[in-house]
Chains A and B, each alone.
Chain A
Amino acid sequence: MKIEAQDVHVYYGQDHTLKGVSLTVKKNTVTALIGPSGCGKSTFLRCMNRMNDLIDNCHVKGNILIDGVDINSPSVNINELRKAVGMVFQKPNPFPKSIFENVAYGLRVNGVSNKEYINDKVEWSLKQAALWDEVKDKLKKSALALSGGQQQRLCIARALAVEPSILLMDEPASALDPISTSKIEELIYNLKASYTIMIVTHNMQQASRTSDKTAFFYMGELVEYDDTRTLFTNPKKERTQNYITGRFG
């Protein structure tokens, strides 16, 4: 198992936001997290690379194992963890630097200074993110001049450059137009061969198009977790049924 979450609880101060979530994720699969907004999808995703540590009053309980290692144990270096578990955010958030420097940043903070290696890696990452052809002539230009969809693919390239094995995506297409969205979905499909992907989405079609497994969250609990096809065609719980048929949420 690539990821094993065992009875994960998250508290924001007094608020008990995630109430004992357990699930396992296989290597090189796409797992979609769905559910009404505020149900804790992002919170759960952020447990995987310990981004919740940045929030002052946030406490996480339970075990999360990645490749069998408890990521919350003191022996785990949080910066190494975040290199291994890349993240793409809802709103594209490129650095106010050049396109090249955006992708090279993860390498530089890793201590890489070999120019040739960085050049190759930047090109490789941009190709992986299906952005190379669009930006290869303007690598020195500011990343902020790109369109929203290009910015989001740049953020994916930036995450890939540090060679993660897991990619977390928090509603990566929710701020994008349909064409950019389908490019991102295609990308997710292609990246699956090399990465284990966890994606939060509001969009049921997107979940069914892109994922192998789907987890339905409701009010901080994992209601149902199954193969995507089974969950969408033959859900076991009534709540799931109601949600995917659009009766609430």
Chain B
Amino acid sequence: MAKKLGKRMRQKQVRKNKWYEFQDKSFKYIALAATGIGVLVLCVLLYDVFFDGFGRLDWKFFLDSSSRKAKNAGIYAAMGGTLWIMALTTIIAFPIGIGAGIYLEEYNKKGRLSNILEVNISNLAGIPSIIYGLLGLEVFSRTLMLGDTAITGALTLALLILPIIIVSTREALKTVPYNLREASFALGASQWQTIWHQILPASIPGIVTGAILAISRAIGETAPLIVIGAATYITSVPKLPNESFTVLPIQIFYWIGKPQHDFQVNAAAAIIVLLGITFVMNGAAVYLRYRWQKKVKW
């Protein structure tokens, strides 16, 4: 009886093991398939865009502004607008975001404020970007009467990426080992001296990496800028931040909405340019992180 039972249990165990093995394998293939589909879709999209747009990329395309004729239209104004937005957003968002990250991580780590902000900042990062657009429209464009200008756009995008910069700054600061702080304090350095001379140099590549990724997200944003009323048809690059502007994603959005095939080609070419910019920025971020990991060993 006991023997029989033992045999039955063994059989059960074997069946179970087979089932686990099957689970293991099938999960592996499902995961592989999911990755494969993602990569495949991306490749098809990229192929489609490159096939349509690559031939359109010439110097003229970069030097022309909006035009009613597709062949005469280019991305000069949009490119200029994107650069303006990039510069202004950087100037606004980097100091505030990095400063806030340092304050929260180094000065107010255990404070109540820090706890409340910690939760809320993570939530802020998840809010749809169009909501930031509405906020920007109400606060910057209307209340502060900045209008549909580059500065309004930059302020709005700065708000959008502030949570990302704050969180990544804190993460970078967290990676600095405690014994480095300890060593500095033990020599009589003040908190600010410790942050400035030891903690920031050790974490700046991480901070900058996060900030670059945040900016590269900002320049791809369309929705909030449409909401604040960025122009879709513009023939000159703004000379000052208080002029109206357009950016690459909006230019693309506008061209894609047109029925003529030639505008679709323009859109594809502009997408290639935008992808290129994003790619270069992400590449820079990856490179910085790589250099950093190689150089600093504790």
Contacts and interface: CB of A to CB of B under 8 A. Distances in A.
B251 to A, nearest CB: 45
A80 B181 CA distance: 17
Nearest to B189: A109
B110 interface: yes
A56 to B, nearest CB: 5
Interface stretch (A17-25, A85-93, A112-120, A177-185): A85-93
B182 interface: yes
Contact of A109 (B109, B180, B190, B201): B190
B104 to A, nearest CB: 15
Contacts of A83: 187-188
What does DSSP make chain B's interface, helix, strand, loop or mixed? helix
B206 to A, nearest CB: 14
Contacts, number: 66
A81 B298 CA distance: 28
Interface centre among B109, B110, B189, B197 (most CB of A within 10 A): B189
Contacts of A87: 186
A159 interface: yes
A54 B182 contact: yes
A91 B110 contact: no
A96 B190 contact: no
B109 to A, nearest CB: 8
Contact of B187 (A82, A91, A144): A82
A64 interface: no
Contact of A89 (B109, B179, B190): B179
Contacts of B182: 51, 54, 89, 93
A159 B190 contact: no
A105 interface: yes
Interface string B180-211: 11111111111001000110011000000000
B190 A56 contact: no
A47 to B, nearest CB: 13
Contacts of B184: 95, 105, 109
A82 B202 contact: no
B91 to A, nearest CB: 30
Interface size class of B (residues with CB under 8 A): 20 to 34
A110 B110 CA distance: 29
Contacts of B189: 79, 105-106, 109
B186 A82 contact: yes
Contacts of A109: 184, 187-190, 193, 197
B296 interface: yes
B297 interface: yes
Given A56-B110, A95-B198, A144-B297, A82 B188 contact: yes
A95 B186 contact: no
B226 to A, nearest CB: 46
30 contacts: A49-B186, A51-B186, A54-B182, A79-B188, A79-B189, A79-B190, A82-B187, A82-B188, A83-B187, A89-B179, A89-B182, A89-B183, A89-B186, A91-B179, A93-B179, A93-B182, A93-B183, A94-B183, A95-B184, A95-B198, A96-B180, A105-B184, A105-B187, A109-B187, A109-B190, A110-B188, A158-B183, A158-B187, A159-B186, A162-B187
Given A51-B186, A56-B110, A109-B189, 19 more contacts: A54-B181, A56-B109, A79-B188, A82-B187, A83-B187, A89-B182, A91-B179, A93-B182, A94-B183, A105-B184, A105-B187, A105-B189, A105-B197, A106-B189, A108-B197, A109-B187, A109-B197, A110-B188, A158-B183
Interface of B: 109-110, 179-190, 193, 197-198, 201-202, 296-298
